[in-house]
Amino acid sequence: MSPHLILYGRSYCHLCEDMALALKPFAALFDFDLDIVDVDADADLVALYDDLVPVLVARMPDGTCRQLCHYFLDPAVLHAFFAEAPA
């Protein structure tokens, strides 16, 4: 099963748009699912991520979650994540 990435952001956030665009080249390199979630649609997500968006989180096949980066996509972190992720 492929890793599942979740990009938490909001609609009026240029950093969120930038991170979504920065993820596109990784789709050609690695097999993963991506959901983009607006934190403003859920009060619990606002409480968790309000000042950190955009936040990229990985939900692994076993259900565990791991925050990979926030504000800006860190290519080195993403490459390391996929290198250690179960196939």
**Using DSSP, how many helices (H) and how many strands (E) does the chain show?**
3, 4
Q: Read off the pTM.
A: 0.92
- Compute the distance between CA of residue 60 and CA of residue 5 in angstroms, rounded to an integer: 8
pLDDT, tens only, 54-74: 999 998 778 888 999 999 999
Q: What is the pLDDT of residue 1?
A: 67
Q: In the chain, what are the domains?
A: 4-84 (3.40.30.10)
